[in-house]
Amino acid sequence: MLTVCDLHVKYGNIEALHGISLNVEEGEIVALLGANGAGKSTTLMSIMRLAPPEGPVVTKGTISYNGTDLLPIQAHNIIARQGIGLVPEGRHIFGNLTVFENLKLATFARRDRERIQQDYERVFSLFPRLADRRTQRGDLLSGGEQQMLAIGRAFMSGVKFILLDEPSMGLSPLLMLELFRVLKSINESGTTILVVEQNARLALQYANRAYVLEAGKIVLEGKAEDLATNPEIHRAYLG
Amino acid sequence: MRRNIPLLGYVILCALTIVLAKADILDLYVQMILMFIGISIILATSLNLVNGYMGEFSVGHAGFMAVGAYITSVLNVMLFTNSSIFGPPLLSPSSAIIFFPLTLLAGGIGAALAGLLVAIPSFRTRGDYLAIITLAVNYIVKSSIENMQVIGGARGFSGMSSVINSMKEVVDLPWTLIWILIATGATVWILQRFVSSIYGKGIIALRDDEIAAEIMSVNTQRMKVVAFMLSSGLAGIAGGLFAHVLGYINPGTFTIMKSTEVLVMVYLGGMGSLSGSVLSAIGLTIALEAFRPLQVYKWVIVPLLLILLMLFRPEGLMGQRELTDVFPRLRRWLGLKPKLSE
pLDDT digits (tens, 9 = 90+) for B238-277: 999 999 999 999 999 999 889 988 998 998 898 889 999 9
User: Cis omega (within 30 of 0) on the bond before B6?
Assistant: no
* Angle in degrees, CA B218, B273, B265, rounded to 5: 120
Residue B298 burial (CB < 10 Å; 0-12/13-18/19+)? middle
Average pLDDT for residues B148-171, to the nearest whole number? 90
**Residue A193: left if φ>0, alpha if ψ -120 to 50, beta else—which one?**
beta
What's the CA gap between B172 and B197, in Å, rounded? 40
Instruction: Tell me what pLDDT residue A55 has.
Output: 86
B-chain residues within 8 Å CB-CB of A108?
198, 216-218
What's the CA gap between A69 and B14, in Å, rounded? 57
- Strand, coil or helix: what is A56? coil
CB-based contact (8 Å) between B205 and chain A?
yes
B-chain residues within 8 Å CB-CB of A105?
205, 216
What's the CA gap between B158 and B83, in Å, rounded? 9
Closest approach of chain B CAs to the CA of A220, in angstroms?
30
Of the candidates B123, B198, B212, which has its C-beta nearest A51's C-beta? Answer: B123
CB-based contact (8 Å) between B212 and chain A?
yes
pLDDT digits (tens, 9 = 90+) for B324-341: 888 888 877 777 766 654
In chain A, the percentage of residues whose pLDDT exceeds 70 is 99
Contact A48 B218 (CB under 8 A): no
Q: Which of B6, B45, B23, B8 is nearest to B227 (CA)?
A: B45
Confidence (pTM): 0.89
Paired strand residues for B147: none
Q: Which of A155, A184, A25 is nearest to A85 (CA)?
A: A155
pLDDT digits (tens, 9 = 90+) for A67-86: 999 999 999 899 888 999 99
B-chain residues within 8 Å CB-CB of A157?
215-217
Q: Which residues contact B263 (CB under 8 A, 6 or more apart)?
A: B47, B51, B59, B61
pLDDT digits (tens, 9 = 90+) for A15-70: 999 999 999 999 999 999 988 889 999 999 999 998 887 889 999 999 999 999 99
Contact A52 B208 (CB under 8 A): no
Average pLDDT for residues B295-317, to the nearest whole number? 82
B221 or B282, which is more confident?
B282
- Residue ranges of the domains in chain B? 5-255
Average pLDDT for residues B117-121, to the nearest whole number? 84
pLDDT at B295 over 90: no
Contact A76 B219 (CB under 8 A): yes
Residue A44 burial (CB < 10 Å; 0-12/13-18/19+)? buried
Of the candidates A75, A106, A154, which has its C-beta nearest B214's C-beta? Answer: A75
Instruction: Tell me what pLDDT residue B341 has.
Output: 46
pLDDT digits (tens, 9 = 90+) for B182-209: 999 999 999 999 998 988 888 999 888 8
Closest approach of chain A CAs to the CA of B227, in angstroms?
18
Find the closest chain A residue to B340 by CA distance. Answer: A101
Of the candidates B123, B209, B218, which has its C-beta nearest A76's C-beta? Answer: B218
Find the closest chain B residue to A48 by CA distance. Answer: B215
Instruction: Tell me what pLDDT residue A110 has.
Output: 85
- Strand, coil or helix: what is A231? helix
Average pLDDT for residues B297-310, to the nearest whole number? 81
> What is the DSSP-derived secondary structure letter of residue A24?
E
- CATH code: domain B5-255 is 1.10.3470
The count of C-alpha atoms lying within 13 angstroms of the C-alpha of B328, restricted to the half-sphere facing its C-beta, is 3
CB-based contact (8 Å) between B315 and chain A?
no
pLDDT at B157 over 70: yes
A-chain residues within 8 Å CB-CB of B122?
none
Find the closest chain A residue to B199 by CA distance. Answer: A108
> What is the DSSP-derived secondary structure letter of residue B336?
P
The count of C-alpha atoms lying within 13 angstroms of the C-alpha of B120, restricted to the half-sphere facing its C-beta, is 6
The residue of A81, A87, A105, A110 whose CB has the most chain B CBs within 10 angstroms, and thus the best one to mutate to test that interface, is A105
Residue A208 burial (CB < 10 Å; 0-12/13-18/19+)? middle
* Angle in degrees, CA B286, B184, B241, rounded to 5: 85
End-to-end CA distance of chain A: give it in Å, rounded. 33
What's the CA gap between B280 and B268, in Å, rounded? 6
Instruction: Tell me what pLDDT residue A239 has.
Output: 61
ipTM for the whole complex: 0.84
Q: Which of A202, A211, A106, A201 is nearest to A151 (CA)?
A: A106
The count of C-alpha atoms lying within 13 angstroms of the C-alpha of B267, restricted to the half-sphere facing its C-beta, is 21
Paired strand residues for A15: A10
Find the closest chain A residue to B207 by CA distance. Answer: A94
- What domains appear along chain A, each with residue ranges and CATH number? 26-50+75-238 (3.40.50.300)
What's the CA gap between B47 and B58, in Å, rounded? 8
Q: Which of B77, B11, B66, B34 is nearest to B245 (CA)?
A: B34
What's the CA gap between B105 and B38, in Å, rounded? 17
In chain B, the percentage of residues whose pLDDT exceeds 90 is 50
pLDDT digits (tens, 9 = 90+) for A118-169: 999 999 999 999 999 999 999 999 999 999 999 999 999 989 999 999 999 8
Contact A74 B221 (CB under 8 A): yes
Closest approach of chain A CAs to the CA of B139, in angstroms?
27
A2-11: strand order across its sheet: A14-24, A2-11, A57-65, A68-69
Contact B211 A79 (CB under 8 A): no
pLDDT digits (tens, 9 = 90+) for B11-63: 999 999 999 998 888 889 999 999 999 999 999 999 999 999 998 889 999 99
Average pLDDT for residues B156-164, to the nearest whole number? 91
- Beta strand pairing call for B248-249 and A14-24: unpaired
pLDDT at A180 over 60: yes
Of the candidates A53, A92, A100, which has its C-beta nearest B209's C-beta? Answer: A92
Average pLDDT for residues B210-222, to the nearest whole number? 88
> What is the DSSP-derived secondary structure letter of residue B91?
S
What's the CA gap between A38 and A55, in Å, rounded? 15
> Alpha helices of chain A — where are they, by DSSP H?
40-48, 75-77, 99-105, 113-126, 128-132, 143-156, 173-188, 200-206, 224-229, 231-233
pLDDT category at A176 given cuts 50, 70, 90 is: very high
The residue of B124, B201, B207, B211 whose CB has the most chain A CBs within 10 angstroms, and thus the best one to mutate to test that interface, is B211
- Strand, coil or helix: what is B123? helix
A14 or B87, which is more confident?
A14
pLDDT at B342 over 50: no
Instruction: Tell me what pLDDT residue A160 has.
Output: 92
Instruction: Tell me what pLDDT residue A58 has.
Output: 94
pLDDT at B120 over 50: yes
Instruction: Tell me what pLDDT residue B47 has.
Output: 96
